[in-house]
Amino acid sequence: MSHEGEGAGACAGAIVPAWRVDVLTLFPGLFEGFLGESILKRAIARNLVEVRRWDLREWAEGRHKQVDDRPFGGGPGMVLMAPPVVSAVEAVRASAPEPGRLVALSPRGRRLDQAKVRELAAEPRLILLCGRYEGFDERIIDELSPELLSIGDYVLSGGEVPAMVVIDSVMRLIPGVLGDEASALDESFGPDGALEYPHYTRPREFRGRAVPEILLGGDHAAIARWRAEHRTFHPAHGG
């Protein structure tokens, strides 16, 4: 069975990364740029995170490797078939000693928020199942009992972008991934639900707008107070 692994975990005898994510998708190529740039690229190269992509079509049978079919009862679109998807998840689960937490991306799922991101970051292994077309045959959900996760109340064409949202938000919390650990602690949607304070960098003045004087003085206690005062609350968090 062909699969693709990114991260030194793919090499025999390598140190096991702190966080492994397996993505099951019909379009593994969509992740190319996402995995190959910036913070995630560095995290993979440093063996902090391992991302494996698995092509669901590998588990399809027949000459045409069919993975979807028309819905019983009629209606538009195609539905992802249970046999290849269930076989794929079972095989991927069995490919590592840690069975992993199975998450299916779905608009029907619980909405992702920073509390859920923290919860997922505590898992050593996540298996992300990406839907396509009209979505999953319901027996995939019944058979595998995945956690259904939505990234918002809108419909996308597939679970790949939602999977990238999950990977990106979770990997920021994996120790060592961000250059400065404090930047994740200080960010918006911490336990108190507050949003981050405003940031400024050079130049000191831009089109007549000056940087608040207090940030220039080097008084760390005063700066911390100013920042605490300038954190705001998201309406959804009751602020």
The site for ligand SAM (CB under 6 A) is made up of: 105-108, 130-132, 134-136, 150-152, 154-159, 162
Rounded least distance, CB 66 to ligand SAM, Å:
17
- Angle between helix axes 160-171 and 38-45 (nearest 10 degrees) is 70
Q: Residue 154 or residue 209: which is nearer to ligand SAM going by CB?
A: 154
Closest residue by beta carbon to ligand SAM: 131
Rounded least distance, CB 140 to ligand SAM, Å:
10
Rounded least distance, CB 28 to ligand SAM, Å:
15
Rounded least distance, CB 44 to ligand SAM, Å:
24
Q: Residue 49 or residue 105: which is nearer to ligand SAM going by CB?
A: 105
Q: Report the C-alpha gap between 239 and 229 in whole angstroms.
A: 13
Q: Residue 6 or residue 137: which is nearer to ligand SAM going by CB?
A: 137
Backbone angles phi, psi at 122, to 5 degrees: -85, -5
Residues 6+ apart with CB under 8 A from 60: 66, 67, 81, 84
Q: Residue 108 or residue 225: which is nearer to ligand SAM going by CB?
A: 108
Amino acid present at 15: I
Q: Report the C-alpha gap between 113 and 141 in whole angstroms.
A: 22
Rounded least distance, CB 177 to ligand SAM, Å:
23
Q: Residue 125 or residue 132: which is nearer to ligand SAM going by CB?
A: 132
3-class SS of residue 183: helix
Q: Report the C-alpha gap between 37 and 48 in whole angstroms.
A: 15
Q: Report the C-alpha gap between 198 and 186 in whole angstroms.
A: 12
